[in-house]
Amino acid sequence: MDEMGKDTGMDTDHITHSTEETRALGATLARDILSGSVLALRGDLGAGKTTFVQGLLEELGAEKPFVSPTFVIMKEYDLAAPTTTGIARVYHVDAYRIDDPADMEKLGFDEWCADPEGLVLVEWPEKIANLLPENTKTVSLRWLSDTDREIVIG
């Protein structure tokens, strides 16, 4: 069982050997994630956060292109139809350029997290750690080699 009370059948620690496997793991998580969830994606530059998110977004049926919102801070994807787990919107947040968490509050972060039909994906969550809801789920990605990544979901 995962922290959301669903049996995902997924172990918590994974090694992927290609970008395709990293995307596929994101897609697998997308099938079971519930609306109203917040995922904190931790990892250094090049660890695979955006690749993981691309698989998740594709599985949810979001419209491409899927790029990291580094310069726009947040990209919203309205899904054509809500998922079986109730997700109608995805808020993909990149806090890398945030120096003051209050700036994220001004942009509406609390409202995104309170959206009962939303899913919030946060890259660089350590920059806004005090704003993350208590029930935030963490996905940690670590670069092992040019092709391999360690991904811990917990």
pLDDT tens, residue by residue, 41-96: 999 998 999 999 999 999 999 988 887 777 789 999 999 888 888 999 999 999 99
- Tell me: the pLDDT tens digits for 116-151? 999 999 999 999 999 999 999 999 999 999 999 999
Whether the pLDDT of residue 1 is over 60: the answer is: no
The answer to whether the predicted template modeling score (pTM) of the entire model surpasses 0.85 is yes
SS3 128: helix
Cis bond upstream, residue 133 (ω within 30): no
